[in-house]
Amino acid sequence: MTMTFASRRSFLQLGFSAAGAALVPRWTWAQATAGQQNAAAQDDPGKVQVKSTRLGDHVFLLQGVGGNMALQTGSDGLLLIDASYAPAVPRIREAIASLVPTPPSAPSQLINTHWHLDHTGGNEGLHDAGFAILAHRQTRDRLSHAQEMKLFHRTVGPSPAGALPTQIFDSTMTVFRNGDTLDMVHFAPAHTDSDIYIHFKNANVLHLGDIWFNGMYPFIDEGTGGNIDGMIAGSKLALELADGSTKIIPGHGPLGTKQELAAYHEMLSAVREKVALLKKQGLSEQEALAKKPTAEFDAKWGKGFMAPDVFVGIVYRTV
């Protein structure tokens, strides 16, 4: 089956070179061919500046290449959500240093929203910089072993010891830090089987990881537990946590609102119903694709990370 991707940028953002290696040990820029490097030089995580946006007294959004990050500052220590790709670590550290010129002496904490390398690739480098890593049990488990990313026909090798979370939880965990209460809750399998959200309750900031791709069809990693119904349930759960002024951080795309999240949830539900009906009627995946079940949504949602046909295929296979 030929995969259509919105762009090479999309492909590289997931953390894979297209060099054709059957085993991609970890994301390293050197794995891309020279031609690919030229084609996407602007996407080199080592070169892209990490921008910061203040979301509250102690909470910032950090955006570079890879998944969106959040930073909480204060005398209890730095707390970072997600770690982008390995080569981005110096850029992340620069962004933090510009916000916090004198880091607190208290230990720094990194939390991963899920196992994908656009969120955990920087784990080892940040661990070396003093961050202790916390995540869901499945994030540690999946980082510990080779993983197959079915959609991309790629196997990702195990991460080095320094990249592994040293503290894990199964369903929920609450952390009191820098004057805020952080609720962390595991989603039922959705984008992967390792997804959590982090809710800064006082700051009213919610990081959803890759449950939410704001303004575009999401990637769902069917090879590591993801499925469309989990994405629908996960976005519904997130809507219940949010109010009209909650600042909601998607894994990818711009900072969003409850209203935007609701539109995404409705789109997911509608596409699921259309594709499920075609499957129930006995249409094959190719026949279902030919019916263009997302036609009415493509203008709004189909210009981002996932091409419409790729998204429909995932929905068909996981519904």
Q: Which of residues 223-252 bind Zn ion (CB under 5 A)?
A: 251
Report if residue 189 touches Zn ion, rule: CB under 5 A: no
Least separation in angstroms between residue 114's CB and Zn ion is: 6
Cα–Cα dist 80/72, whole Å: 6
Binding test (CB under 5 A) with Zn ion, winner from 26, 58, 116, 186: 116
E-strand ranges in the chain read 23-24, 51-54, 59-63, 69-72, 79-81, 108-111, 131-136, 147-149, 154-156, 167-169, 172-177, 180-186, 196-200, 205-207, 247-249
Q: Which of residues 247-306 bind Zn ion (CB under 5 A)?
A: 251
Least separation in angstroms between residue 82's CB and Zn ion is: 8
Report if residue 118 touches Zn ion, rule: CB under 5 A: yes
Report if residue 222 touches Zn ion, rule: CB under 5 A: no
Q: Which amino acid is at 72?
A: Q
Count H helices and E strands in the chain, helices first.
Answer: 11, 15
Nearer to Zn ion by C-beta: 124 or 210?
210
Report if residue 309 touches Zn ion, rule: CB under 5 A: no
Least separation in angstroms between residue 276's CB and Zn ion is: 24
Sheet of 205-207: strand order equals 172-177, 180-186, 196-200, 205-207, 247-249
Cα–Cα dist 89/29, whole Å: 13
Least separation in angstroms between residue 237's CB and Zn ion is: 17
Cα–Cα dist 25/22, whole Å: 10
Report if residue 43 touches Zn ion, rule: CB under 5 A: no
Q: Which of residues 63-102 bind Zn ion (CB under 5 A)?
A: 67
Nearer to Zn ion by C-beta: 153 or 201?
153
Q: Which of residues 127-186 bind Zn ion (CB under 5 A)?
A: none
Binding test (CB under 5 A) with Zn ion, winner from 124, 210, 222, 309: 210
Q: Which residues are at the interface with Zn ion (CB under 5 A)?
A: 67, 116, 118, 210, 251
